[in-house]
Amino acid sequence: MPDTPDPVAALLAARLSGQALPAFPTPVPATLAEAYDVQQRLTAALGAPVLGWKVGRIPPALVETLGAERVAGPVLRVAELDGDRPGEVLIFRDGAGAIESEVMLRLRAVPDRRVTAGDGARWVDEIRAGFEVASSPAPDVHNHAPYGIIADIGINNGLLLGPQLDHGDFATLGVETQIDGVAVGSGRAIDVLDGPWGALDFLADLHRRGVIELNRGQWISAGAITGVHPIAIGQTATARFGAAATIACTAAAETGFHA
């Protein structure tokens, strides 16, 4: 009797080699539980420490059915931006690639109860402007949202950390994202569902249920403020967080993950 196909092997090989897949490997997970199981096994196989967690959104048409609004994925790469120089983000050639302007929260402690805007600072000791790199070796991964996205480690391919933001007003800053100088989106972190503290509360709930494991010092990428913006190799993204920070990054080809 032949072995049952497992998407982990194909996703692992693609991420280690930097080579795109023709399509998302089958069988595609069909439930949130199956998707997080694939995520956990793929993360373990990649063999790198989990440096943080990204938060994304479930397609609106599925929110009521699934009883959830967000998805989570582990972050295995974190880099600091160097002043005004654009950082480098790695995108799978012939895969899916996008950039997201986000606020990054560093965990002071793992929340042991509900996180609210009033006590958010209890759990977070630093907030940064930043980029989440969203790239997958499967070019059609978004056709399988949210299950394929969760399974392929949240399609996270790293975080870039920019300047610190003030705890008092970081969530209300107007953010604009440009690709090669053309505006592609704008927004405020506070307007993404129930804001960054809601994103942290979502992750804390997953932690308490044993779906993910949060740890002190991890970075939380709290949600795409201006949208999910496709980016091609060689293009440069710029994000302005009001007058508080301006950051930039240029997309380059993924050559393979190394722990």
Q: Which tens digits make up the pLDDT trace of 71-93?
A: 999 999 999 998 788 999 999 99
- Residue 259, in any domain of the structure: no
State how many domains the chain has. 1
Work out whether the CA dihedral 160, 162, 165, 171 comes out positive or negative.
negative
- Residue 20, in any domain of the structure: yes
Q: Is the pLDDT of residue 47 over 70?
A: yes
Residue 182 CB neighbour total at 10 angstroms: 7
Give me the pLDDT at residue 1, please.
40
- Residue 59, in any domain of the structure: yes
User: Which residues touch 218 (CB under 8 Å, ≥6 apart)?
Assistant: 50, 51, 52, 53, 75, 106, 107
Owning domain of residue 93: 7-253
- Residue 201, in any domain of the structure: yes
Give me the pLDDT at residue 3, please.
67
Q: Is the pLDDT of residue 174 over 60?
A: yes
- Residue 258, in any domain of the structure: no
- CATH of residue 58's domain is 3.90.850.10
- Residue 239, in any domain of the structure: yes
What average pLDDT does the chain have?
96
- Residue 1, in any domain of the structure: no
Average pLDDT score over residue span 127-136? 98
Using 50, 70 and 90 to split pLDDT, how confident is the model at 109? very high
Q: Is the pLDDT of residue 145 over 80?
A: yes
Percent of the chain residues topping a pLDDT of 90: 94
